[in-house]
Amino acid sequence: MQPHRINRRSWMQFASFAAGGYCSGWLPQLVSAAESAKAQGRHCVLLWMSGGPSQLDTFDMKPGHVNGGSFKERSTSVPGLRFSEHLPKLAKHAESLAILRGVSTKEGDHERGTILMRTGHIPGGPVRYPSIGSALSKSLGDEQGELPNYVSIAPGPFARNSISPGFLGPKFAATSVASAAPANDDEFAQLRVDYLQRDGGISKRRHDDRLDLWRSMQARFLAGRQTDNVVAHDTVYQSAIRMLASDAKDAFDLSNESDSVRKAYGKGTFGQGCLMARRLIERGVPLVEVTLGDGLGWDTLADTFTRVRLLRGQREAGGAALVCELRDRDLLDRTTILWGGEFGRTPQINSNGGRDHFPQAFTCVLAGGGIAGGTVQGKTSNDGMEVIDGKIDQQDLLATLCSALGVPPSTENIAEGGRPIAIAEGEVVQGVLR
């Protein structure tokens, strides 16, 4: 593994050289690499498993041990790599997946763990760190695009702080897609973005007149107020206006897909969210996040095995269909997928037949562009209680995701007070990259 770190001393050294009229070679290289990733049209999909998925019942089973539970293993498309019996569709795509079984953090609270995994930093303190979605969309996106650069579908609990743009400001915030579960088994979940159409009582002419008036007033307002907050506010409005006027917004309309395709993804919120992710990626959106679970869906503190069986139908169809369709449409090599949650689950089964919070040793999965599929990184002990090889933390995971996308993890953004902060400060797990 190779470190990708730029500390404060390095930054100050660079700053002093720049002030003297000199420039070292590393900054242009970082800029060039980030621009290359943007030019290549790279995409990222974050499949967020809200509540903390059980690693022992999915990708890191312990057959024959009392902690293993009642589920059986099954073979996959990669010889020697085995998943839970409840992952048959993903097992067929194992050659596209990299399994990281050595993830370990120090945060076992749902909200704090969610913020930690999505930003790389423990919550609290003076710096408002941006989510990885905001940071990557800034590096990969087009500020003049017709669609948002970061879309979060059914973001679930703790979204306010965990998908916040932090010090990057509101123009790098996620556009949220609201959800409504299907009323019955015959219907599809409803996903919507509010205000994509003008009000039905306002004619196009009246709408355009209002827009012209707003633009003239806005231009006068901006003329003497070019502060960061005002410019960011204007950027958000201009982006919304472009999307409203564009046919690209049809990417959010799943009724344009056949029922057979929609059923292949699953009728629930997660499955339909994965389908929307594919449609958004096709239209150039660089960062899409889809959350599984109404509330804390993976919070299997009781009756784990029944709960995991129920979740399987949602997780399996959506994730497998997404990988399959991205491959069929020649998009998988340009799209990196990260599957994970805020922590894992205890190897020991509690008195309620469930598994408790367990951040010490759990699993995340990478797939698609830049990823060496069919690989496993990290190993836990026979009882699943600790990582015994290939231990990584949230910063290492995010640095690896950045590298897979072609974005140098050491790419810096400037926080309040002029402090430079890298997107991710961890070590890249080279063994899962290609």
Amino acid identity of 404? A
Q: Render each residue's pLDDT in the chain as its tens digit; 434 residues.
A: 444 444 443 444 344 434 444 444 555 555 565 566 676 789 999 999 999 999 999 999 999 999 999 999 999 999 999 999 989 999 999 999 999 999 999 999 999 999 999 999 999 889 999 999 999 999 999 888 889 999 999 998 888 889 999 999 988 999 999 988 877 878 999 998 876 766 667 887 887 888 888 888 888 888 877 676 777 677 767 777 777 777 778 899 999 999 999 999 999 999 999 999 999 999 999 999 999 866 678 898 998 888 888 777 667 789 999 999 999 999 999 999 999 999 999 999 999 999 999 999 999 999 999 999 999 999 999 999 999 999 999 999 999 999 999 999 999 999 988 999 999 999 999 999 99
Q: What is the DSSP letter of 1?
A: -
Cα separation, 272 vs 185, whole angstroms: 14
Please give the pLDDT value at position 230: 76
Q: What is the DSSP string of 190-206?
A: EEE-TTSS--TTS-HHH
Residue where the block lists tokens 């974050």: 46
For the chain, the domains span 36-432
Return the percentage of the chain with pLDDT > 70, whole number.
Answer: 88
Burial class (CB in 10 A: 0-12, 13-18, 19+), 37: buried
Helix (H) or strand (E) holding 428: strand 427-428
Q: How many CB atoms lie within 10 A of CB 68?
A: 19
- Minimal CA–CA distance to 103: which of 416, 407, 322, 400? 400
Question: Cα–Cα distances in Å, from 420 out to 30, 133, 171, 189?
Answer: 14, 18, 19, 42
| Three-class SS state of 427 | strand
pLDDT digits (tens, 9 = 90+) for 297-347: 889 899 888 888 877 766 778 999 999 999 999 999 999 999 999 999 999
- Minimal CA–CA distance to 131: which of 419, 329, 424? 424
- Minimal CA–CA distance to 42: which of 269, 213, 392, 288? 288
The class that CATH gives domain 36-432 is: alpha beta
